[in-house]
Structure 1
Amino acid sequence: MAGRVAGKIKLQTVDELLGVPEIAGTQEIEIGRIHAFPNHPFKVLDDERMDMLVESIRENGILNPVIVRPDKNGDYEMISGHRRLHAAGIVGLSKIPAIVKEMSDDEAIIKMVDANIQREEILPSERAFSFKMKMDAIKRQGARDDLTSGTEFQKSGIKVDSWSREVVGDEAGMTGRQVAKYIRLTELIPELLDNVDVKKITLTMGVDLSYLDVQVQKWVYEYFKENGFLKPVQVEALKNHSNLSNASQHMIITILNEALPKKSTAAKVSLSEKKLDKYFPPHYSAKDRENVIIQLLEQWSTQQAQE
């Protein structure tokens, strides 16, 4: 959580979030002895930001130690610092400064999410799976001691879900409802979720698609891949369809196509000024020309009706 200093919000550092000392306890640990956190939801990409991190480490070393916890095999599990570990490997370092913290599995999940969710750029998929991991861990832990209504929340699964979403949302600066929307994205097939990450499919569309059967999602993705687009109105049509339980691929394609706005079949007539100059005196204004054309059309229409 953030603290307030002199009327301003002070964001906590990763070390403060994890409850570790700023300097004490730092060790040099061999890179080969540190393994990634299981099902780590945050992507480590060799992109421009990674290139910048690699150059920084090459010039200045690793300024902030990573956070790890000991595992059962005498090695270490990464809690915070997957990108730094990857960059250190690229640079060619054999060891990395680390702070070792004893944590239970659920504590480790919560601390891992809290440490990584503070990154400036978080993909929807990263937020979705990290929120789900943290919420599940909180539910397993039960109501916190500092919540007086904890007993009440444990009485039903629905209340526990609502409470845990609110806890996750409060610590991430959003509502429990927003957290629930992100968690829905974990029900998307990877191909659709990837397109939410690159903003070719909106978050709202992704949430709506997540309620569809996996096979239907696959057909939607094939349609998207073949046509190069997927419109909100199309997803809305699938969402509002009365029964997709026995839908075929042909049926899904038909729903998607029929949801698109119909192209106008009316004939378009264009008369350029150059064409009209042949029939009108130079002093006739555009309005004068329009009145004459309308009168002639009315005469023609009357003649057609009499024939």
Structure 2
Amino acid sequence: MKRRHLISSALALSAAIGLAGPAAMAQDAYPAEPIHITVVWPAGGGHDLVGRLLGNELSKVMDTPVVVDNVTGAGGTTGMRHVADADPDGYTIGVMGLHAISQSFMNANAPTMEDVDPLVYISDDPGALEISADAGIDTLEDYVAAMKDDPMALMNGNDPQGGNSFVFANVIPKGLGIDMMKLPYPGHAPTVTALLTGEVQTATLPIPPVLEQAKAGTVKVLGVASEERHPQLPDVPTFKEQGYDIVTGDFVMIVGPKGMDPAVKKTLSDGILAAAQSAAFTEAATSNGMVLRAGGPEMAAAELTTQVDTVYPLLLDAGLVAEGLERE
């Protein structure tokens, strides 16, 4: 009887190990398939650049393929919903910025910030005001005078409602005391094209998508909406230096869906942070105009809270908060 009992127990234990084995091995083996980085804007923009640069380094760190998916539409809401609704298995992450916060207060269909899990903070991204070199305006003072004389004279290119350059296009003219005619484009890359082809004369983009044009002289940056000058454009003054108290900006962080296994989340966030701090990513991102300030999940969560507290009053003041989405 004892021998029979021991055999039965051994068989039961073996079966249990067999059942538990695949799950344990799957967790231990993470990542066992490609990781997908969702970019909510079209190819060629600042977030797309982050996704591709980071994906290249992350594939080396994690020893697995990394695929960038451009899931566009609704001012970034479609892509953010794609991330928020994904399986929390560590294989779907997204590049997020100011757009996600603004959409969460402007669009009832957008995910809230409680629907995503901050993984790694990447960079700060101050807003700016750019003008085509063909416009014949060289200074912020001349621009303000021209707009006060004729608010319809210069058309501004910016994102649809919710995108960072849309928010900048509401905050900057208010700070300058002018009215601004706005023309929405589906992302930064199309806005830059419109600026270069003369469809619009100004834009309220962050620095990275216009950095090369600014250095080449085809686009002039009239002011940067930060406390300090942009490191890649040290000769361009801030709005504050020119007498206007305008400080507004975007940020870049990587997020995933809520509910990830803690061990998977740690492996993933550690890998992303290592990729973001790699020499190759740092050099490429800095040369493209990013102001890097990388940090892990705790920093990312704290910065997200700070950004929400900063952005919401701007949206409320600009009349952009939808009915029913006001904070208590």
Establish whether TM, by shorter chain, passes 0.5: no
TM-score (norm 1): 0.22
TM-score (norm 2): 0.21
Higher helix proportion (structure 1 or 2): 1
Identify the structure with bigger relative contact order (alpha carbons < 8 Å, sequence gap 6+). 2
- Structure 1 or 2, whichever has the larger Rg, is 1
Higher strand proportion (structure 1 or 2): 2
